[in-house]
Structure 1
Amino acid sequence: MARCGAGSAAPVVLLGSPGVCSKGLQRKGPCERRRLKAMVSEQLSQDLVRLLREEMHTDVIFSVGGTLFKAHKAILLARVPDFYFHTIGQTLNNLTNHEPVAVENFEASEFRTFLQIVYSSNRNIKNYEEEILRKKIVESGVPQKKHDFTFEKCTDNGGRSSTEFLGKKSSDSSLLKCEIPEDICDGEDNLISTDNYDLDPASELGEDLLKLYLRHCCPDIDIYVDGKSFKAHRAILSARSSYFAAMLSGCWSESSQEHITLQGINHVEMNVMMHFMYGGTLDFPDKANVGQILNMADMYGLEGLKEVAIYILRRDYCNFFQKLVPRRLAPVLECLIIAHSVGVESLFADCMKWIVKHFARFWSERSFANVPPEIQKSCLNMLIQSLVSIS
Structure 2
Amino acid sequence: MARCGEDSAAPVVILGSPGVCNKGFQRRGPYERRRLKAMVSEQLSQDLLRLLGEEIHTDVTFCIGCTLFKAHKAVLLARVPDFYYHTVGKTSNSLTNNEPVVVEHLEASEFRTFLQIVYSSNRNIKSYEDEILMKKILERGLSPKKPDLNPGKCKKLSDRSLLKNDISEDISDKEKSLISTDNYDLEPASELGEDLLKLYVNQCCPDIDIYVDGKSFKAHRAILSARSSYFAAMLSGCWAESSQECITLQGISQVEMNVMMYFIYGGTLDFPDKANVGQILNMADMYGLEGLKEVAVYILRRDYCNFFQKPIPRRLTSILECLIIAHSFGVGSLFADCMKWIVKHFARCWSERSFANVPYEIQKSCLNMLIQSLVSMT
TM-score scaled by length of structure 2: 0.91
> Are 2:28 and 1:34 aligned?
no
> Are 2:202 and 1:211 aligned?
no
Q: Would you say the 8 A contact 1:183–1:228 is kept in 2?
A: no
Q: Indicate the RMSD between aligned Cα atoms, in angstroms.
A: 2.3
CA distance in 2, matches of 1:183, 1:342: 38
Q: Would you say the 8 A contact 1:59–1:96 is kept in 2?
A: no
> Are 2:366 and 1:360 aligned?
no
SS of the residue corresponding to residue 230 of structure 1 reads strand
Alignment map for 1:243-262 (pairs within 5 Å): 243-262=230-249
Alignment deviations for residues 107-155 of structure 1 (CA, whole Å, 9 cap, x no partner): 11111111111111110000000010000022x2322253560515525
Match of 1:15 among 3, 9, 12: 9
> Are 2:60 and 1:60 aligned?
yes
CA distance change for structure 1 residues 314 and 226 in 2, over 3 Å: closer, same or farther? same
Alignment deviations for residues 362-390 of structure 1 (CA, whole Å, 9 cap, x no partner): 11212222211221121122222222222
Q: Name 2:140's counterpart in structure 1.
A: 141
CA distance change for structure 1 residues 51 and 109 in 2, over 3 Å: closer, same or farther? same
CA distance in 2, matches of 1:91, 1:109: 24
**CA displacement at 1:284 relative to structure 2:** 0.3
SS of the residue corresponding to residue 236 of structure 2 reads coil
CA distance in 1, matches of 2:8, 2:63: 60
Match of 1:290 among 277, 288, 297: 277
CA distance in 2, matches of 1:95, 1:24: 58
CA distance in 1, matches of 2:256, 2:274: 10
**CA displacement at 1:24 relative to structure 2:** 3.6
SS of the residue corresponding to residue 124 of structure 1 reads coil
CA distance change for structure 1 residues 78 and 186 in 2, over 3 Å: closer, same or farther? closer
Q: Would you say the 8 A contact 1:21–1:317 is kept in 2?
A: no
CA distance in 1, matches of 2:182, 2:260: 16
> Are 2:375 and 1:381 aligned?
no
Match of 1:346 among 318, 322, 333: 333
Alignment map for 1:1-391 (pairs within 5 Å): 1-5=1-5, 13-21=7-15, 24-25=21-22, 26=25, 27-91=27-91, 97-138=97-138, 140-146=139-145, 149=148, 151=150, 154-155=153-154, 162-163=155-156, 166-168=157-159, 170=160, 172=161, 175-177=162-164, 179=166, 186=177, 193=182, 198-391=185-378
Q: Would you say the 8 A contact 2:343–2:366 is kept in 1?
A: yes
Stretch of structure 1 that moved more, 238-247 or 367-376: 367-376
Matched-pair identity in %:
74
Stretch of structure 1 that moved more, 269-278 or 359-368: 359-368
Q: Would you say the 8 A contact 1:18–1:331 is kept in 2?
A: no
CA distance in 2, matches of 1:335, 1:357: 16
CA distance in 1, matches of 2:96, 2:70: 13
SS of the residue corresponding to residue 210 of structure 1 reads helix
CA distance in 2, matches of 1:147, 1:220: 24
SS of the residue corresponding to residue 370 of structure 2 reads helix
CA distance change for structure 1 residues 296 and 148 in 2, over 3 Å: closer, same or farther? closer
Gaps of 5+ in 2: none
SS of the residue corresponding to residue 153 of structure 2 reads coil
CA distance change for structure 1 residues 96 and 37 in 2, over 3 Å: closer, same or farther? farther
Alignment deviations for residues 78-119 of structure 1 (CA, whole Å, 9 cap, x no partner): 000000001111355689633111101011111111111111
Stretch of structure 1 that moved more, 86-95 or 322-331: 86-95
**CA displacement at 1:183 relative to structure 2:** 6.3
TM-score scaled by length of structure 1: 0.88
Q: Would you say the 8 A contact 1:269–1:288 is kept in 2?
A: yes
Paired residues in the alignment total: 368
Stretch of structure 1 that moved more, 46-55 or 96-105: 96-105
